[in-house]
């Protein structure tokens, strides 16, 4: 083994360790966030329930023989079917915008939008999986499954997600019918793919929530003077001589974009909210949870 | 050199650079400010948004102007601008720089030195040799022409002298001049006897330029007594516009510290050559005055030393009738003694002895007949300047003294019997006093209306009577008469010195009249024959700047020479000005004598006289470059502001920077223009905190950097302070948090220092002050707070930190508190010293190795000091701590045993503070057996 190979192996290992290193904290943080919520409004839900059992009902003609719970039926004359309504609960598919624009944080004290999105997504996943739901990522990388192992898979997938383009379009093709979806994105790119995705979701009866994650600077536009603005990947570029002049018009466009997204969501039966990275993640988590819980 | 108006340039070709400025304008105009590059995800929303105006595409005109001005200032600055350039014909002749070197030079000596230095600079530039000569310190031999550089080194050593040049010496020196040279004469501005001849001699050798300061020459004549007040006269050389100045009287205060005793305004009226002022001081203060000076004048001529002329009079009181002992109020001299004792030295004795003692004043109260032979002696004494003050009385009235012929010792002839007015057996009312007329020494004194005269002796009408009367009654009869005799005088009060004949001795007027008379009998200036054969030593010497100094070792001066100097020419090299002490007498030789007159120098028309104000080139390079720097700094900030990079705090910081830059050159210029002030010991202001701590006993705790620890320490000391207040006579104020870096330590008798692992190491300055604090009796209680978990040593983090902290401290060898240490009995008897923890040993300064327990003594005689440090880890502050409601903050131990432990902890605190404040006082009990033994028990 020559020196170059040694070097490569060492680099790989250190990279792997750095990657795996961020995983437990993210999961831990997400669990912490989720626990805060469970302790509150939903704490009692789990008490005494234990597993996926919902109820026994009398078997009716048409029930498959193997659906009959013989242990229960043996204690009486009638046949009972063990209903697994809870277990057949929703699949939730989460899409996190992997665009490089999500890597933006205006101040060192603020998290990147991507990090906040991962945190929220994983915390929701913790909540949902504890509630027995199946959670997966949109697209075909990680289909919805339940169980705590899924949490590890999720966090691994989230941490591993690599950004390529400046702005990414949502993938709606793999949406399961009648599932639920959670989209986390800054929605600053072209809205057309989003519109298409929401259309597909509506067609398939998928309901969900769209969270627009914005950095405070993106809302305030506190710039002045001659400035060249570049997107995070450097593909888009805009030069202005008086950035201060643009502020009003930029803010107008942001408001337009929010209005557009709100309209799209309303049309598709989705919930829409705007979250800022300097705001509390727990409050947002509560909103998301309620939004996904709605009509369940 | 290129000269444009008042400004010249040493490197004028650099100014061509100014022509390039328009080009710069075009270049700068075309370049817009560089853009800021920002990563911003929202750029997708910005696409398509156009700028509404294209104006800032180009640099704004004012920014351009700023830059161009900055560049122009740079160019001009490097071109070497000089204000008021001196353009003179070049000459290669040697340069003689001549100082008058007298006391009048001292008033602006730094300016003169600077002018000489400048002249030496010029001479150095043009390669001329130069010589510097002071007329009061003439060099022997030929003129010492040398390279100007070597003279520049010696120039600071040249000082003016507190006298003027000697005309004869100067004439001799002038006659020996040879060779051709130009002269720069730095004149002192006074008319001097040698001036014309010397000028002629110098002009024969080359051109003469004259330099004179523009400050007026002021001088102060010696203070004299005139009718009870100190008369001061100030002179000036050139009568000019009105000048208002002040005269300051300086002397020792009762503590022997020299300070300003009085200050009075002095006004030279427009065109007046002299100004006068009178200073009336209480005798006590007057006796202390050592010198008068004109405020703000640094010159020996403006200082006048005072001598015996201001000292207390010696007064002898002789009363005629001594046979009525016990009736003090009726004694003829009672009121005299009362009035004179505070202000003069009274002499007792018989008349013979008194005359031999040569007092300033002899008072004869109702003494009619003098012993034979004594009258002649008194007469001689009066002629020598004595003041004989006589009071009338029954004896004088009954005697035949001065009835038929004038008695030399009475100013007037007396009529027999006297008169009585306003009594039971006479007509008329008691007479009161008439206002004092002009020429009377009592002029200006207010006559109280209740002063009445019921009886008096009457003067014979006489052609001299009116002239000799200095006070009279309302009906015109003389009340006080005076006759001059030789240098002295004889004064007669026509009433008694007690209250029998008049109420005058009861009034304040009597005291004032005595004072006027007594003080106006000042010593006359000594004549040469008076001083013949005496030797006078210089006691205090005055330098040319008017600063008195203790004379070191100068040979004595013969009395004749001193008197001759006093009479005429004033001080010289052999007789410097100052205070000369002889036997029991001191004479001041001042630069300005009573008759000295000063006048301004006059120069012929052909001589160019330059003043201080005009002379001197001033380089403007520094100013121009500073302006350029300022402009460019402003440009920097303006550019930042334009580019939107100057926001918020950074903007404020920039503003502060600009303000500092703007303030700086002004301050610097002021510091340069101001005359060199006398070095003054700058005392740092005392902080409010230190002052509060100095006013009471304040326990201090050292800030550990850990907020919780500091809070507990403060609460602990508050608890200890309360306990001390309740139980002992120590009544501490609220404890203070002490920052080692900034606070004064020496106002705290005791510092509590909780040691935490994260505590920063103090700076070197803080260590220096801590060590000074420990050496001067302060105590620090180090508490590592960890006795519950750690033993003493480097095992625990706090212990390690303590070792690091204490490495820089001057700590003596330590030992665990021995059983007989004074800490165990400073107030309470204690066996151990628990805090919140009752963990481990407490360490104090080790006992000296030779401390032995003596048989029969309860304890050893240990160190004589307060231990500078006490080190432990029992977390005493937590045990002591009380919250703002006075409740204990932390539990100690369990139950009653815990409370007992807290009590012991508090007792330890009390003992500790007692030990700090009283030292080893309790150790002195070792001596109790010895003391009892000595008392015989």
pLDDT in tens, B153-212: 888 888 888 888 888 888 888 888 888 888 888 888 888 888 888 888 888 888 888 888
Residue B376 has a pLDDT of 84
> Quick one: CA dihedral B834, B835, B840, B841, positive or negative?
negative
What tokens appear for A237 in the block? 């570029």
The interface predicted TM-score of the complex, written ipTM, equals 0.71
Residue B647 near chain A (CB below 8 Å)? yes
Residue B567 has what pLDDT?
Answer: 74
**Same domain membership, residue B916 and residue B836:** yes
The more confidently predicted of residues B776 and B660 is B776
* Mean pLDDT of the region B666-682: 41
Q: Where are the domains of chain A?
A: 53-83, 91-293
Choose among A227, A237, A246: nearest Cβ to B36. Answer: A227
Strands of the B2-4 sheet, one edge to the other? B2-4, B7-9, B81-83, B618-619
Share the mean pLDDT of chain B: 79
For residue B723, the distance in angstroms to the closest alpha carbon of chain A comes to 48
Residues in chain A closer than 8 A to B637 (CB atoms): none
Across the A:B interface, residue pairs with CB atoms under 8 Å apart total 108
Q: SS3 of A80, please?
A: strand
pLDDT band at A44 (very low <50, low <70, confident <90, very high): very low
- For tokens 């979701």, what's the residue? A201
pLDDT tier at B422, thresholds 50, 70, 90 = low
Measured between CB atoms, does B424 come within 8 Å of chain A?
no
Q: How distant is the Cα of B30 from the closest Cα of chain A, in angstroms?
A: 15
Residue contact A225–B57, C-beta within 8 A: no
What CATH number corresponds to the domain at position B117?
Answer: 3.40.50
Instruction: Indicate the pairing of strand B303-305 with strand B313-319.
Output: unpaired
CA distance B508 to B491: 19
Confidence at residue A261, expressed as pLDDT on a 0 to 100 scale: 92
The last residue of a domain, from among B244, B276, B310: B310
- The domain that holds B807 is classified in CATH as 3.40.50.12140
Q: Are residues B343 and B477 in the same domain?
A: yes
Q: Is there a contact between A227 and A199 (Cβ–Cβ < 8 Å)?
A: no
Distance (Å) of CA A131 to CA A42, A153, A183, A289, B891: 10, 18, 20, 11, 47
Same domain, B357 and B243: no
Question: Out of A225, A228, A231, whose CB is closest to B644?
Answer: A225
Search chain A and give the residue with CA nearest B54: A241
Q: Are B524 and B594 in contact (CB under 8 A)?
A: no
Q: What is the dihedral of CA A185, A187, A188, A189, to 10 degrees?
A: 100
Q: Judge whether residue B652 has pLDDT over 60.
A: no
User: How far apart are the C-alpha atoms of A55 and B63, rounded to whole Å?
Assistant: 82
| Stretch among B183-192, B652-661, B773-782 having the lowest mean pLDDT | B652-661
Contact criterion met (CB < 8 Å) for A229 and B46 = yes
pLDDT tens per residue across span B90-103: 567 888 888 888 88
Cβ(B303)–Cβ(B291) below 8 Å: yes
Count of domains observed in chain B? 5
* Residue-wise pLDDT tens digits, A230-287: 888 888 888 887 788 888 888 999 999 999 999 999 988 888 999 998 888 888 888 8
B238 in a structural domain: yes
Of the candidates B5, B642, B38, B455, the residue with the CA atom closest to the CA atom of residue A221? B38
pLDDT digits (tens, 9 = 90+) for B880-928: 999 888 888 888 888 888 888 999 999 999 998 988 888 777 776 667 7
- A242–B56 C-beta distance less than 8 A: yes
The per-residue pLDDT for A274 is: 92
For B780-791, how does the pLDDT look when each residue is reduced to its tens digit (9 = 90+)?
888 888 877 766
Instruction: Nearest chain B residue to A104 by CA: give it.
Output: B41
**B285 and B325 in a common domain:** no
- Contact: A224, B35; criterion CB under 8 Å: no
Looking at residue B793, its pLDDT comes to 58
**Rg (chain A; Cα; Å):** 23
Return the residue of A nearest to B47 by Cα. A238
Closest listed residue to residue A277, CA positions, set A127, A39, A101, A129: A101
Question: How many angstroms away from the CA of A242 is the closest CA of chain B?
Answer: 7
B767 and B872 within one domain: yes
How far B40 CA lies from chain A's nearest CA (Å)?
Answer: 5
Q: Do B513 and B550 fall within a single domain?
A: no
Per residue in B576-618, pLDDT (tens digit) is 888 887 655 677 888 887 777 888 888 887 777 776 544 456 6
Tens-place pLDDT, residues B826-877: 888 888 888 888 876 788 887 776 666 655 555 665 556 678 888 888 888 9
Of B41, B54, B645, the CB nearest to A188: B41
Q: Using a CB-CB distance cutoff of 8 angstroms, which residues of chain B are in contact with residue A249?
A: 49
Whether residue B79 is contained in a domain is answered as no
Compare A263 and B152 and report the one with higher pLDDT.
A263
For the cut 50, the answer to whether the pLDDT of residue B667 exceeds it is no
Closest A-chain CA to B34: A226
Using CB atoms, pick whichever of A102, A242, A257 lies closest to residue B45: A257
Domain assignment of residue B537, given as a range: 528-589
Q: Which helix (H) or strand (E) holds A281?
A: helix A281-293
Region at B680 (left for phi over 0; alpha for psi -120 to 50; beta for the rest): beta
Q: Which H or E element spans position B231?
A: strand B229-236
Beta bridge pairs of residue A229:
A238, B38
Q: Which residue in A162, A144, A139, A164 sits closest to A154, CA to CA? A: A144
For chain A, helix (H) and strand (E) counts, in that order, are 8, 9
Quote the pLDDT of residue B678: 41
Helix ranges restricted to H, B740-833: 764-775, 797-806
- Burial (CB count <10 Å: 0-12, 13-18, 19+), residue B592: buried
Rounded average pLDDT over B438-454: 81
Residue that finishes a domain, picked among B460, B486, B519:
B519
Are residues B837 and B721 part of one domain? yes
Beta strand ranges found along B431-534 (DSSP E):
431-432, 452-453, 455-456, 469-472, 478-485, 488-493
Check B37 against A230: CB less than 8 A apart.
yes
Of B43, B46, B57, the CB nearest to A241: B57
Same domain, B540 and B491: no
Q: For residue B592, which of B389, B915, B301 has the smallest C-alpha distance?
A: B301
B291: domain CATH number is 2.60.40
Q: What is the average pLDDT across B297-315?
A: 78
Q: Which of B42, B58, B640 to mutate to probe the A interface, most A CBs <10 Å?
A: B42
Query: For residues B55 and A102, which has the higher predicted lDDT (pLDDT)?
Result: A102
Asked if residue B355 and residue B232 are part of one domain, the reply reads: no
CB–CB contact A221 B642 (8 Å)? no
Q: pLDDT tens digit string along A133-183?
A: 788 888 777 888 877 788 888 888 877 767 677 788 887 777 888 788 888
Q: How confident is the model at residue B931 (pLDDT cuts 50, 70, 90)?
A: confident
Contact status of B648 with chain A (Cβ, < 8 Å): no
Task: Tell which of B469, B490, B519 closes a domain.
Answer: B519
Chain A CB contacts of B647 under 8 Å are 224
Nearest to B38 among A166, A230, A241 (CB): A230
Calpha distance B578→B303 (Å, rounded): 10
Whole-angstrom distance, CA of residue A268 vs CA of residue A172: 13
Q: Is the pLDDT assigned to residue B668 strictly greater than 70?
A: no
* Whole-Å CA distances, B90 to A91, B103, B185: 106, 34, 19
Does the beta-carbon distance from B644 to A218 stay under 8 Å?
no
Given a contact cutoff of 8 angstroms between Cβ atoms, the answer to whether B210 and B610 are in contact is: yes
Region B661-676: mean pLDDT is 43
Q: Give the residue with greater pLDDT, B369 vs B823.
A: B823
Please check whether residue B47 touches A, CB under 8 A. Answer: yes
Task: Quote the pLDDT of residue A10.
Answer: 54
Same domain, B303 and B326: no
Interface with A, mutate which of B46, B56, B60 (most A CBs under 10 A): B46
Shortest CA gap B898–chain A (Å): 41
Domain A91-293 class?
alpha beta
The span from the CA of B82 to the CA of B85, in Å, is 6
Q: Classify residue B14: in a domain, yes or no.
A: no
In B494-620, beta strands by DSSP E: 535-542, 548-550, 557-558, 578-582, 585-589, 608-610, 618-619
Closest CA to B577 of B526, B525, B542: B542
CA B763 and chain centroid, separation = 36
Asked whether residue B341 is assigned to any structural domain, the reply reads: yes
Q: Are residues B340 and B477 in the same domain?
A: yes
Average pLDDT over residues B528-539: 69
Based on the fold, state whether residues B205 and B225 are members of the same structural domain.
no
User: Residue B41: which of A186, A240, A244 has the nearest Cβ?
Assistant: A186
Interface test with B, best of A117, A215, A225 (most B CBs within 10 A): A225
Q: Which ranges in B252-393 belong to alpha helices (H)?
A: 283-286, 334-340, 351-357, 374-383
Q: Is B148 exposed, middle or buried (0-12, 13-18, 19+ CB in 10 A)?
A: buried
pTM over 0.80: no
Q: Please tell me the number of Cα atoms within 13 Å of B846 on its side-chain side.
A: 8
Residues whose CB is less than 8 angstroms from the CB of residue B359 and which lie 6 or more positions away in sequence, other chains included: B313, B314, B315, B316, B347, B386
Residues in B closer than 8 angstroms to A117, CB to CB, are none
pLDDT of residue A49: 36
The confidence score (pLDDT) of residue B749 equals: 87
Average pLDDT over residues B762-766: 83
* pLDDT score of B552: 64
Shortest distance, CA A264 to any CA of chain B (angstroms): 18
Residue of A231, A247, A254 to mutate for B, most B C-beta atoms under 10 A: A231
Closest by CA position to A151, among listed A125, A184, A179: A125
Cβ within 8 Å of residue B616, ≥6 positions away: B84, B114, B115, B118
pLDDT at B906: 92
As given in the structure block, the two tokens for residue B515 are: 């004072």
Which among A102, A224, A232 has CB closest to B39?
Answer: A232
Calculate how close chain B gets to A206, using CA atoms only, in Å: 29
How far is residue A210's CA from residue A181's CA, in Å, rounded to a whole number? 8
Q: Best mutation site among B35, B44, B648 for testing chain A: the one with the most A CBs within 10 Å? A: B44
Asked if B240 and B216 count as a contact pair (C-beta separation under 8 A), the reply is yes
A188 contacts B44? CB cut-off 8 A: yes
Beta-strand pair B736-738/B699-702: parallel
By CA distance, what is A234's nearest residue in B?
B39
Contact B305, B542 (CB under 8 A): yes
β-strand partners of B489: B387, B484
Interface of A with B (CB under 8 A): 101-102, 104, 166-167, 186, 188-190, 215, 217-218, 221, 223-232, 236-246, 249-250, 253-254, 257
- Are B45 and A188 in contact (CB < 8 Å)? yes
pLDDT exceeds cutoff 90 at B424: no
Tens digits of residue pLDDT in B677-686:
444 444 566 7
Q: How far is B26 from chain A (nearest CA, A)?
A: 20
Mean pLDDT of B29-34: 66
pLDDT category at B802 given cuts 50, 70, 90 is confident
Q: Do B41 and A245 touch (CB under 8 A)?
A: no
pLDDT of residue B720: 92
């Amino acid at each position: 083994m020559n020196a170059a190979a040694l070097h490569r192996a060492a680099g790989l290992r250190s990279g792997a360790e750095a990657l795996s290193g961020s995983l437990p904290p993210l999961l831990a943080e997400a669990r912490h966030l989720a626990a805060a919520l469970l302790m509150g409004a939903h704490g009692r839900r789990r008490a005494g329930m234990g597993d996926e059992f919902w109820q026994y009902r009398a078997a009716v003609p048409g029930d498959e023989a193997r659906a009959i719970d013989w242990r229960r039926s043996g204690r009486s004359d009638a046949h009972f079917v063990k209903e697994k309504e809870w277990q057949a609960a929703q699949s939730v598919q989460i899409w996190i915008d992997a665009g490089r624009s999500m890597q933006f944080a205006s101040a060192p004290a603020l998290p990147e939008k991507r990090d906040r999105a991962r945190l929220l997504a994983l915390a929701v996943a913790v909540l949902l999986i504890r509630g027995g739901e199946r959670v997966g990522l949109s697209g075909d990388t990680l289909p919805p499954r339940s169980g705590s192992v899924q949490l590890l898979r999720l966090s691994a997938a989230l941490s591993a997600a690599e950004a390529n383009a400046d702005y990414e379009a949502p993938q709606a093709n793999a949406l399961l019918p009648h599932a639920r979806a959670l989209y986390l994105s800054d929605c600053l790119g072209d809205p057309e793919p989003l519109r298409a995705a929401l259309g597909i979701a509506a067609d398939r009866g998928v309901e969900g929530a769209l969270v627009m994650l914005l950095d405070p600077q993106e809302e305030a536009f506190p710039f002045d003077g001659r400035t060249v603005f570049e997107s995070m990947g450097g593909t888009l570029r805009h030069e202005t001589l008086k950035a201060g002049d643009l502020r009003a018009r930029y803010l107008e466009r942001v408001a337009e974009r929010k209005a557009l997204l709100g309209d799209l969501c309303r049309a598709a039966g989705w919930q829409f909210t705007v979250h800022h990275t300097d705001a509390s993640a727990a409050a947002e988590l509560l909103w998301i949870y309620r939004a996904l819980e709605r009509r369940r | 050199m290129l000269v444009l108006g008042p400004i010249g340039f040493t490197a004028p070709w650099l100014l061509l650079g100014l022509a390039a400025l328009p080009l710069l304008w075009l270049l700068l105009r075309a370049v817009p400010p560089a853009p800021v590059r920002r990563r911003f995800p929202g750029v997708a929303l910005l696409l398509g948004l156009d700028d509404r105006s294209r104006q800032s595409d180009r640099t704004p005109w004012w920014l351009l102007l700023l830059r161009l001005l900055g560049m122009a200032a740079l160019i001009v600055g490097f071109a070497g601008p000089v204000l008021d350039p001196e353009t003179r014909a070049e000459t290669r002749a040697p340069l003689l720089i001549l100082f008058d070197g007298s006391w009048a030079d001292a008033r602006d000596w730094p300016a003169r030195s600077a002018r000489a230095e400048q002249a030496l600079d010029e001479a150095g530039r043009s390669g001329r040799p130069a010589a510097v000569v002071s007329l009061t310190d003439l060099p022997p031999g030929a003129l010492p022409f040398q390279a100007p550089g070597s003279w520049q080194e010696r120039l600071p050593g040249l000082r003016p002298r507190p006298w003027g040049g000697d005309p004869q010496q100067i004439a001799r020196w002038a006659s020996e001049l040879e060779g051709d040279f130009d002269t720069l004469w730095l004149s002192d501005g006074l008319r001097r006897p040698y001036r014309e001849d010397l000028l002629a001699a110098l002009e024969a050798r080359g051109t003469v330029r004259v330099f004179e300061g523009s400050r007026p020459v002021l001088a102060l004549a010696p203070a004299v007594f005139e009718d009870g007040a100190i008369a001061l006269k100030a002179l000036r050389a050139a009568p000019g516009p009105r000048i208002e100045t002040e005269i300051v009287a300086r002397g020792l205060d009762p503590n022997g510290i020299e300070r300003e005793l009085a200050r009075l305004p002095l006004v030279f009226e427009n065109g007046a050559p002299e100004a006068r002022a009178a200073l009336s001081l209480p005798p006590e203060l007057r006796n202390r005055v050592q010198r008068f000076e004109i405020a703000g004048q640094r010159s020996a001529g403006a200082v006048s030393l005072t001598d015996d002329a201001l000292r207390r009079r010696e007064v002898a009181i002789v009363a005629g009738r001594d046979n009525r002992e016990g009736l003090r109020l009726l004694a003829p001299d009672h009121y005299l003694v009362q009035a004179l004792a505070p202000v003069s030295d009274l002499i007792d004795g018989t008349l013979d002895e008194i005359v031999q003692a040569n007092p300033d004043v002899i008072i004869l109260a109702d003494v009619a007949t003098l012993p034979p032979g004594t009258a002649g002696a008194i007469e001689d004494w009066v002629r020598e300047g004595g003041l004989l003050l006589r009071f009338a009385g029954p004896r004088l009235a009954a005697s035949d003294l001065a009835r038929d012929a004038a008695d030399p010792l009475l100013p007037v002839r007396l009529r027999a019997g006297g008169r009585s007015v306003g009594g039971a057996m006479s007509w008329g009312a008691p007479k009161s006093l008439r206002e004092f007329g002009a020429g009377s020494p009592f002029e200006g004194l207010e006559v109280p209306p209740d002063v009445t005269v019921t009886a008096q002796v009457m003067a014979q009408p006489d052609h001299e009577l009116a002239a000799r009367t200095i006070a009279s009654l309302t009906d015109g009869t003389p009340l006080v008469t005076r006759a001059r005799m030789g240098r002295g005088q004889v004064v007669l009060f026509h009433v008694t010195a007690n209250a029998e004949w008049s109420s005058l001795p009861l009034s304040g007027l009597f005291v004032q009249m005595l004072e006027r008379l007594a003080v106006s009998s000042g010593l006359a200036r000594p004549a040469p024959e008076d001083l013949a054969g005496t030797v006078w030593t210089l006691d205090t010497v005055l330098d040319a700047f008017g600063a008195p100094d203790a004379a070191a070792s100068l040979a004595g001066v013969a009395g004749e020479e001193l008197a001759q100097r006093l009479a005429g020419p004033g001080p010289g090299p052999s007789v410097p000005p100052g205070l000369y002490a002889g036997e029991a007498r001191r004479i001041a030789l001042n630069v300005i004598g009573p008759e000295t007159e000063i006048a301004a120098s006059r120069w012929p028309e052909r001589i160019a006289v330059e003043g201080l104000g005009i002379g001197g080139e001033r380089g403007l390079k520094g100013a121009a470059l500073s302006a350029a720097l300022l402009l460019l700094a402003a440009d920097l900030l303006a550019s930042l502001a334009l580019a939107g990079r100057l926001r918020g705090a950074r903007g404020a910081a920039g503003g502060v920077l600009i303000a500092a830059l703007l303030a700086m050159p002004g301050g610097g210029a002021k510091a340069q223009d101001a005359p060199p002030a006398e070095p003054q010991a700058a005392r740092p202001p005392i902080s409010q905190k230190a002052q509060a701590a100095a006013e009471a006993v304040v326990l201090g705790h050292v800030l550990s950097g850990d907020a919780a620890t500091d809070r507990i320490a403060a609460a602990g000391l508050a608890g200890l302070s309360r306990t001390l207040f309740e139980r002992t006579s120590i009544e501490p104020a609220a404890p203070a948090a002490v920052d080692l870096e900034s606070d004064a330590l020496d106002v705290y008798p005791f510092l509590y220092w909780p040691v935490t692992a994260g505590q920063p190491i103090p700076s070197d300055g803080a260590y220096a002050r801590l060590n000074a604090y420990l050496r001067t009796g302060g105590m620090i209680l180090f508490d590592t707070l960890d006795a519950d978990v750690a033993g003493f040593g480097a095992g625990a983090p706090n212990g390690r930190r303590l070792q690091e902290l204490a490495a820089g401290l001057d700590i003596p060898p330590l030992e665990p508190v021995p059983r007989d240490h004074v800490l165990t009995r400073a107030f309470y008897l204690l066996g151990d010293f628990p805090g919140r923890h009752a963990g481990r040993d407490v360490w104090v300064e080790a006992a000296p190795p030779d401390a032995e327990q003596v048989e029969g003594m309860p304890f050893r005689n240990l160190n004589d000091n307060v231990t500078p440090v006490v080190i432990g880890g029992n977390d005493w502050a937590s045990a002591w701590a009380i919250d703002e409601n006075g409740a204990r903050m932390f539990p100690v131990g369990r139950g009653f045993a815990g409370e007992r432990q807290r009590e012991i902890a508090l007792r330890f605190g009390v003992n500790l503070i007692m030990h700090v404040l009283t030292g080893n006082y309790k150790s002195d009990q070792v001596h109790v057996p010895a003391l009892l033994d000595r008392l015989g028990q």
